[in-house]
Chain A
Amino acid sequence: MPIYEQGYRRWEARGPLRSIRFWPITREALALILAKRAFLGLLVLVWLPFVFRVIQVYVVTRFPEAGRLLPVDGRLFGEFLNQQSGLSFLLSIFGGAGLIANDLRTGAILVYLSRPLTRRDYVIGKLSVLLLLNYSATLVPALLLYGLALGLAPELFLKWSLAWIAPMIVLHATILSLVVSLVALAISSLSRSARVSGLAFMGVIVGLEIVRGVLVGILDRPEAQVLSLQNSLRMVGNLLFGIAEGSAVPTAYPPLLLIAVAAGCLAILRSRVRAVEIVR
């Protein structure tokens, strides 16, 4: 069709700029990720521990004698979240590896940044994708589990002495999701290939775990416990939920390491998310 026969309508309904500008980025990226069947399968896998925990809660609240073997208290939620952290890493590898890497490869980053968006909007938009995915593996099932426990055994859980559990679930899930999401996003911004980013993320997690194992096991350096990201997250969780920690690591070390990791990731994102790549 000749182009002069094709319509073009002027659009003059410009309003003020939105204050929340990142949401379309998050929504569309989530839609692309959730359109993959393999990822939906992974999400189902992530919820399997929740099913087992539901059975556990049901059994111990219905048969009080079982509570002696499997106590239902704050520890249950701490352990559940620690368990979910591994799955959260998996979700971040498959969901987050390409978030920025693909944009760098296909030049989409220019499409985003040539719009009325700041670099911060872009990073928040991408980070929100991972936060939502990670919350779906941590915060949502943990809160549901807590709600279930309250419903099944209010006499056990509905008391002031246990009122701290819900805020701690929110805090631990947020720390866990935020740190894992930031690391995944920062690694994604370092490559133009989603596959390379995913492998690098897995390499970092597994590599640090091996280094920790070597230093603690062979060289007997307990402070090396914090070297592993997963272990540091677990130690912070144990701290929040009052789970006894056998190691001699000072309490402040794991949170400090997580803060340093988050700051490092933000610095990487700040230097990598640019519309202009300067090659020297």
Chain B
Amino acid sequence: MGEPLVEFRDLAVSYGPLQALGGVTGVFLPGATGLLGPNGAGKTTLLKTLLGFLRPDAGSLTAFGLDPGLRPLEVRRRIGYMPEVDCHISGMTASAFVALAGELSGMPRDEAISRSHEVLYYVGLGEARYRTVDTYSTGMKQRVKLAQALVHDPDLLLLDEPTNGLDPAGREEMLALVGDVATRRGISLVLCSHLLRDVERVCSSVVVLNQGRVAAAGELATLTGARRFAFDVRVKGAAAAFLTDLKDAGCEWREGEDGYRVFLGDDVGPELLFRTARECGVQIRHLRPAAESLEDVFLRALGHEVQD
């Protein structure tokens, strides 16, 4: 995985009397990281602190080993930021807008102009690049926001709700682009979203924020990995007796869409399922360790009961 690109330790940030982040600790590793949380969890605040827009009240944050509060320009030139809100320069064509963004990031003008065309082609706006951004649809505006964040080839891309306001097809295309940036182009990114499926599709690790605190963090595969004592089971025969016997043996179960999810006791293994099935005269037609979805992880991190 490599060295963390961003590290924050006991980071506290407030807007006047309102505390937005209350001592969060975590890292953003190379690769694609999902920054999850309900509205008001502090996701955007964390990104803005990373960009040096906000000064922490306490704790520390470093990006590429630099403190954004002390050396904001050096940090920002290595970051591409796609804000959640609409952003464009009124009256300017997409190619001029993206070229300006590149130039402001320190690129020579000729290089910025040439790269703006490349990046606009990359995000699928090649044919529309000489139109003013004011005339663009919501989906096109999202793409041009991504283009301006990519034009200077950042080391870290911060994407704040990149699929906001997009129709299903537009959302798919945007996620494909973001996934391509992360996997094939080798740019690390932080995808800030409250849409779990977006994060699940693109990211390899997540940080879940809730009420200004880190509620869960880690590799997505680990967090959603198979739980040792939970199994998805489908049976043929007297299921009611089978489930009653399991309950008597100290197991919990819930009905799923296609069978049952059985939670075994701490000191028993899956052989209990086979034994009980034999005793009840039912056939086990399907048995596999149950994997949690990101939604389960998210809800558990937020303190909600996980629903099947």
Contacts and interface: CB of A to CB of B under 8 A. Distances in A.
A69 interface: no
Contacts, number: 121
B104 interface: yes
Interface in B155-173: 173
Given A8-B118, A105-B90, A114 B79 contact: yes
Interface string B56-86: 0000000000000000111011010101011
Contact of A7 (B73, B76, B122): B122
A17 B106 contact: yes
Contacts of B48: 275-276
Contacts of B130: none
B285 interface: no
Contacts of B148: 111
Contacts of B87: 106-108, 110-111
A159 interface: no
A3 B121 CA distance: 9
A99 to B, nearest CB: 11
B124 A6 contact: yes
B81 A276 contact: no
Contacts of A280: 15-16
Contact of B101 (A4, A106, A107, A111): A111
Interface string B167-193: 000000100110011001110000000
B97 to A, nearest CB: 8
A25 interface: yes
A153 to B, nearest CB: 45
A112 B180 contact: no
Contacts of A18: 106
Interface in A1-46: 1, 3-4, 6-15, 17-18, 21, 24-25, 28, 32, 35
Interface in A103-148: 103, 105-108, 110-118
A107 B100 CA distance: 15
B252 interface: no
Contact of B176 (A3, A110, A275, A278): A3
Nearest to B151: A11
A11 B115 contact: yes
A33 B101 CA distance: 19
A32 B118 contact: no
A102 interface: yes
Nearest to A118: B73
Contacts of B79: 114
A9 B111 CA distance: 12
A198 B85 CA distance: 25
B178 to A, nearest CB: 10
B89 interface: yes
Interface of A: 1, 3-4, 6-15, 17-18, 21, 24-25, 28, 32, 35, 98, 102-103, 105-108, 110-118, 274-276, 278, 280
Given A107-B87, A111-B89, A118-B72, 12 more contacts: A6-B122, A14-B106, A17-B73, A17-B106, A28-B89, A28-B100, A32-B89, A106-B88, A110-B85, A114-B83, A275-B53, A276-B53
7 contacts: A7-B118, A7-B121, A11-B153, A102-B90, A106-B87, A111-B101, A116-B104
